[in-house]
Structure 1
């Protein structure tokens, strides 16, 4: 071990920072967070440092460094651009046995400022001894994604009970099991949901019980459209805490690879006409594993609350007294449109967007076709590949122009993404010509014509070269008005 790790209590203790620029400002900011009594010595201060002086948060010694500035300091930070001055400060500090940090100079430093993850009262520090500071920062960024911001609040709940926990569980093994239950069970879930008072009460109940019985829970997690980089931090944490993962067929292998290695994975995918697991079967699996004390992640493509039956699953869990929470995901309409270069709304072309599903003929009868046929709006249609011809006919019959641009985004956000574009009058034919398969999202509206010029991901769109929309205008082919009039009178 090259350095001895040490967490210093600097509250109300004097610390000297030599330098008045941006680097000194960053160092002073961290010291302020630690409660140090800071003096900054420099001829001129940055605006932020000057503002702290005016506010009385720090003191200022104007001018160039003098040895007597070290008289009361417990720590010194040298943050100027003068190497000779840094050498002098390091030597004088060493002679007085004062720890000194010389910025970007590990050899002259007797202490190093680590990369910090702050979850007060939990603090995690990463140091490379000044040899590889960028690597330390990268590690900090990785750990930041794994450690929920509620961790500090959870630790505070535990601190309040610490003495009583030791009395209640004097044996280390029993105490360790209690803490595992506290940090991974219902108490942690309540803290994450911002219900701190309820969490404290649940911790009290758990401590008073004869045994810390296993308590399972379910987290509905949106996996997004497939690109693992689109997972939220909370989703990643949930995957790393899961004992069991019930995942849809469309959840990508890359997303599943981010989950805890020893978690049990159960595919419960449903596909039009081929239901591997019924919704009732999924409910039963969630209940079985949660009642066995396991942490269950119900992993859904896209977002659980956008055509994902998330509401039904929550109603079931609530009805059976199973604790749950929801982690939103990036829904397919937003992600597929973005990865195809299509803005769902646009000041010139679309002032609204509608999300709808058309996976079976029966669902068509519930849709408001006159409203869907209006211009200057975007339709994002989920699970509609098998019903494209009927969808096309209904829209045209209710007045949507056959020249309206569309884009079919297949495997959106994944390496194999394809975008097929054209106009509504040829929608079903284009999909058949290009053998478009699920998962695919249909984007219909004037904005879809922008795919050709704004595409940035994957292969270029397979295009019929539609004319880009003109602001406020929608073109119709010759004779379209007569055709529509005949349809309406039929």
Structure 2
């Protein structure tokens, strides 16, 4: 280890910056965030520094550097383009056993600035010991994406409970188990969802009854298939799950991202195959959450768009189980985007309607007259089995039989297939299409050949993908 990683308390401590340019500004920003008193030595200040000096945020200490200026400071940073001056500052600091940093000159640094992930009071620092700062920055970017933005708030609340926990649990092992349960359970989820009052109540309840671990249900939209379309929040949740109940529409690529030791239960529904009833899914959700588990209900697309997510959460409410929702990219948005079919376009469609071809058997019929209007896009989920009826009804209610249509199969996945044609041939297209498939009806389909970027990429990389036109 070339450097000892330490976190220094520089609040209200004077730090000397020699240099008044853009490089100095970057260092000063970090120092100010850490609460330091910043003293600047420079013949002139760049505009950003002049603004800070005018506000009294930094002090323009002197125009020229003198070694005596180091006698009163905690740290010194040399941020000039004068190599001889930087060397002299470092030498003067070393004589005084003072930590110094010469910007972009690793051998002349007794301390270095790491790449920082700031979730104050949680702070993660990454360093390559000055050998590969770009690599350290790239790693920081990856961690920024993985670490929830609420970590700081979670840590701050935990800090307020430390004394209570110490009083409640005499052994360190007991305290560790308490915090592990809190940071991996309902408390963490409530902070993430903004329910700070509920999170505090959960800590109090766990302190009083540490053996009573309350479970929760988290409804997560997995998107239409491509694992890259899973939201960041969705990724974080499935990697913290105790058990995952998933549908057939969830792709293997998304399932591979689930925490390795989480229990996985398929509760999918598929025509002419073994299916789990909705009532059984409800029973499982309540049973598993009542056992104190973090239960993730992972659904293809978005759980609130033809996904029965609302019904499942109503069951959670009735059972008194805490829950939250992580939206997903719905098939109509994801599959059409990958097929190069904009849902709306000012020259072709001013509105888009999402419709299910598989409604309740006792429900009202479709408003075919409204659906048949021109210059609108229809995105129809689960419509392949009723494609003939859909086509006939739209045409009989006034939609042109030559209206462009597309059937997008397995949208956004490596084997995506797009069949295009006209409304009068919709049933034939649907019969040829692998499932799951989305029906798209409207003039915007004509843009597919021009904008089908994913199809083009698939052909170039050898993916199994097809574009078929049936006019």
TM-score, normalised on structure 1? 0.89
**Distance between the aligned counterparts of 1:389 and 1:80, measured in 2?**
75
SS at match of 1:104: coil
Q: What runs of 5+ residues in structure 1 fail to find an aligned partner?
A: 467-490
Instruction: Please list, as runs of the form range in 1=range in 2, the aligned pairs for 1:317-356 lying within 5 A after superposition.
Output: 317-356=316-355
Question: How many pairs were matched up?
Answer: 463
Larger CA deviation: 346-355 vs 29-38: 346-355
**Distance between the aligned counterparts of 2:194 and 2:371, measured in 1?**
40
Shift of 1:48: 2.6
Alignment-derived partner of residue 96 in structure 1:
96
> What RMSD in Å do the two structures reach over aligned CA positions?
2.2
1:270·1:278 contact (CA, 8 Å) conserved in 2? Answer: yes
Larger CA deviation: 289-298 vs 147-156: 147-156
Larger CA deviation: 75-84 vs 415-424: 75-84
Shift of 1:85: 3.5
Cα shift readout 1:102-149 (whole Å, capped 9, x = no counterpart): 223222111111121222111111111111222222322332233222
Equivalent in 438, 455, 458 of residue 458 of structure 1: 455
**Distance between the aligned counterparts of 1:170 and 1:30, measured in 2?**
39
**Distance between the aligned counterparts of 1:419 and 1:60, measured in 2?**
65
Alignment-derived partner of residue 178 in structure 2:
178
1:415·1:458 contact (CA, 8 Å) conserved in 2? Answer: no
Alignment-derived partner of residue 462 in structure 2:
none
Asked if 1:10 is matched to 2:15, the reply is no
Shift of 1:44: 4.2
Cα shift readout 1:250-272 (whole Å, capped 9, x = no counterpart): 11111111121111111111123
Cα shift readout 1:347-374 (whole Å, capped 9, x = no counterpart): 2222211111113695996321111111
Instruction: Please list, as runs of the form range in 1=range in 2, the aligned pairs for 1:243-258 lying within 5 A after superposition.
Output: 243-258=242-257
Instruction: Please list, as runs of the form range in 1=range in 2, the aligned pairs for 1:393-432 lying within 5 A after superposition.
Output: 393-432=392-431
Cα shift readout 1:277-315 (whole Å, capped 9, x = no counterpart): 111111111122111111111111111101110000000
Alignment-derived partner of residue 155 in structure 1:
155
1:289·1:296 contact (CA, 8 Å) conserved in 2? Answer: yes
Cα shift readout 1:387-443 (whole Å, capped 9, x = no counterpart): 2221111111111112222222222111111222222122222344xx211112122
**Distance between the aligned counterparts of 1:303 and 1:220, measured in 2?**
9
TM-score, normalised on structure 2? 0.92
Alignment-derived partner of residue 439 in structure 1:
436
**Distance between the aligned counterparts of 1:220 and 1:229, measured in 2?**
19
**Distance between the aligned counterparts of 2:343 and 2:93, measured in 1?**
61
Cα shift readout 1:121-179 (whole Å, capped 9, x = no counterpart): 11111111111222222322332233222222122222112112111101122111211
Asked if 1:218 is matched to 2:217, the reply is yes
**Distance between the aligned counterparts of 1:236 and 1:212, measured in 2?**
29
